[in-house]
Amino acid sequence: MIKLGVVYVLAGLVFAAFALLSATDARNPRRLGNAAFWGLVALSFLAGDRLGDLGNGLLVLGLALIAGFGLLGRGEPATTTPEERVMLARRFGEKLFAPALTLPVVLVLSLLILKPLHVGGEPLLDPKQATLISLALAAVVAVAVALILLKQPLISPLQEGRRLMDVVGWAALLPQVLAALGAVFALAGVGNVIGDLVTTWLPMDTRAAAVAVYCLGMAGFTMIMGNAFAAFPVLTAGVGAPILIRRFGGDPAAVCAIGMLSGFCGTLMTPLAANFNLVPPALLELKDRYAVIKAQIPTALALLMANMVLMYVLAFR
Amino acid sequence: MLTLLGVAVVVVGFAARFNPLLVVVVAALVTGWAAGLPPLQVLAALGKAFNENRFVSAALLVLPVIGVAERAGLQERARMLIGRFRRLSFAPLLIGYMAFRQMTAAIGLTSIAGQAQSIRPMIAPMAEAAAESGSRPLSAERREKVRALAAATDNVALFFGEDIFIAVGSILLMVGFLAQEGLNLDPLQLSVWAIPTAVAAWLIHSARLMLIERRLRSEAGEDRA
């Protein structure tokens, strides 16, 4: 059975290459910082299971110190100029979309064909991780398509990958580190403390007030934790189940589904949901780190209002 | 109450724009200290969870192919393609993309598009080119706004599309949680209730995109006058 471990080895090798290429990049004055940072990421992917918990903790500390003290620069691998790119774009035409579109096509084919396959009585792909394994496969196939169809140098996937990786910088690791923070919050019982505060101090005498507390609480709590999944159990145990479902007789499916989606409105408004809100501004090279959140806030607030109305109307028929 | 000190560290640290990686590690150590846990145990817990969550960063493997295609002119080609449709402005483009993204996410295909693989190399350049069609090049400020909206549209569409799919993580979490509460629900019952909000999300975000487009246009008109 192909498990996630294969993907980790591939990712580890790619990051190790990024680290080596960074170290020899004379045009980046902070090349050693980049080499150390991507080197630690490579170490995590290749040997994370053998480092021990404390070893991994020190690795995270190392990443945070390199990023926090501004030791990361931006590598400048030799690439094509903007003028050359316009010429190449004219020459290649719509063929240029082929590699990027190979990603979804291979992903879907892999999920449809490889995922159901069994070899020797067990599934070919680890069923729990089939999407990520398929995505890695798609990435490899797409690189091959790009190299052949667009006739690019063999080293270009690593050099161009490193260029984009340096554009994103420390933000690339933030989602993973935030997930780890969630585990520490859980260990310390942060969720329960907030849940107690909400249920003790907020009035929920009427159905409308209880709907508002549950939906706004899901959004606010998600903003603090960065993730609606962390907010859902706390608020549903505190407000959703005892008050909306049992006291006011709400339909459990509608209450929970719309409550979760109220949490997603919070996800749109918090920097803690880094892979959605902080990585894209880095990828798009925007000046304002919070530009995407600012673009989302009006939609999120309007939708949160809509959710409260929907729950009030649909869950109590 | 002291347990919430770590949350305060995150809020203040992010607001003051310190490096978020450093803020998060400090918040973890403060949270552990407030809960009376020894620092090394907190660091170990952080490391353990970091290692278990490596799959979060494995999706970065799509960057090399995007980089190669960009080297050969993908962003430029995306602009040329949109430039051919003179009448297409950026609001209809993003509204159409949002509908596509919501519908594919609703059948479980959440990874077929995304910020690194679609927004940066194709959709954001297309949106810029569409915003420029028939008028002068965008100012730096408006260019930034259009790019941010392209990223925002992907997020809104993904969040309020994926929950319609019965095997998505949030649906499974709800089924599991409700079972503990003694309420046995079928995933399908939960996922149908995601449809009204999905429609509302599409309507609200589409209306905003059209309003923003109208505003950008009138501002550009004033610049010219």
pLDDT in tens, B35-84: 899 999 999 999 999 999 898 888 889 899 999 999 999 999 988 888 77
Task: Measure B223 CA to nearest chain A CA, in Å.
Answer: 23
CB contact under 8 A, A93 and B43: no
Classify each residue of A254-284 as buried b or exposed e, where b means 16 or more C-beta atoms within 10 Å of its C-beta.
bbbbbbbbbbbbbbbbbbbbbbbbbbbbbbb
- Lowest-confidence range among A25-29, A285-289, B170-174? B170-174
Q: Is the pLDDT of residue B3 over 90?
A: no
Is the separation of the CB atoms in B71 and A152 below 8 Å?
Answer: yes
Biggest CA–CA distance in chain B, Å, is: 67
Task: Report the pLDDT value the prediction gives residue B91, as an integer from 0 to 100.
Answer: 94
- In Å, what is the CA distance from B31 to each residue of A95, B98, B111? 52, 39, 34
Instruction: Report which of A115, A112, A111, A131 is spatially closest to residue A123, judged by C-alpha positions.
Output: A115
Distance of CA B19 to the CA centre of its chain: 21
Contact B120 A260 (CB under 8 A): no
The pLDDT value recorded for residue A282 is 94
Residue A111 pLDDT = 87
DSSP string, A177-237: HHHHHHHHHHHHTHHHHHHHHHHHHS---SHHHHHHHHHHHHHHHHHHHS-HHHHHHHHII
Chain B closest-CA separation from residue A167 CA (Å)? 11
Res. A234: pLDDT tops 90: no
pLDDT of residue B135: 67
pLDDT score of B222: 65
- Is-contact B65 A146, C-beta < 8 A? yes
For B56, the closest of A57, A94, A179 (CB atoms) is A179
Provide, as residue numbers in chain A, all residues whose Cβ is less than 8 Å from the Cβ of B110. Answer: 131
What local confidence, expressed as pLDDT, does residue A236 receive?
87
Nearest to A8 among B58, B117, B181 (CB): B58
**DSSP secondary structure of A33-80:** HHHHHHHHHHHHHHHGGGSHHHHHHHHHHHHHHHHHTT----------
- CA separation for the pair B54, A3 (Å, rounded): 13
- Using CB atoms within 10 Å of the CB of residue A15, give its burial: 0 to 12 exposed, 13 to 18 middle, 19+ buried: buried
Q: Which residues pair with A123 in a beta bridge?
A: A118
Pick from B46, B68, B191: CB nearest A152:
B68
Tell me what the mean pLDDT of segment A218-223 comes to: 93
Phi/psi of residue A74, each to 5°?
-125, 115
- Chosen for mutation from B5, B25, B144, B199 (greatest number of chain A CBs closer than 10 Å) is B25
CA A262, A263, A267, A268: dihedral to nearest 10 degrees? 0
**Cβ count within 10 A of residue A76:** 13
State the CB neighbour count (10 A cutoff) for residue A148: 11
The set of residues, in sequence order, having a beta carbon less than 8 Å from that of B217 and lying 6+ positions away, is: B135
Token digits of residue B22? 């450093």
Position A115 pLDDT exceeds 60: yes
- Number of neighbouring beta carbons within 10 Å of residue A93: 12
Q: What phi and psi values does residue A125 have, to the nearest 5 degrees?
A: -110, 140
Residue to test with chain B: of A6, A53, A111, A112, most B Cβ within 10 A:
A53
CA distance A211 to chain B (A): 15
Q: What is the pLDDT of residues B77-132, one digit of tens each?
A: 988 888 777 778 899 999 999 999 999 888 877 777 889 989 999 999 999 999 88
Q: Say if the Cβ atoms of B204 and A306 lie within 8 Å.
A: yes
Q: Does residue B154 or residue A243 have the better pLDDT?
A: B154
Q: pLDDT of A149-197, one tens digit each? A: 999 999 999 999 999 999 989 989 988 888 888 888 888 888 778 778 8
How close, in Å, is residue A202 to chain B by CA atoms?
Answer: 17
Q: Which of B116, B62, B117, B68 is nearest to A7 (CA)?
A: B62
The span from the CA of A86 to the CA of A15, in Å, is 30
pLDDT tens for residues A122-142? 999 988 788 889 989 999 999
Look up the ipTM and state it.
Answer: 0.87
Name the average pLDDT for chain A: 92
Per residue in B25-47, pLDDT (tens digit) is: 999 999 999 989 999 999 999 99
Q: How far is the CA of A199 from the CAs of A204, A208, A242, A243, B130, in angstroms?
A: 9, 15, 11, 10, 49
Altogether, the residues listed in chain A come to a count of 317
Domain ranges across chain A: 1-170, 175-314
Cross-chain residue pair B151–A295, CB shorter than 8 Å:
yes
What is the distance in angstroms between the CA of the first residue and the CA of the last residue of chain A? 48
| pLDDT above 90: residue A266 | yes
Backbone φ and ψ of A251, nearest 5°: -70, 120
pLDDT in tens, B146-205: 999 999 999 999 999 998 887 677 887 888 888 877 888 888 888 899 999 999 999 999
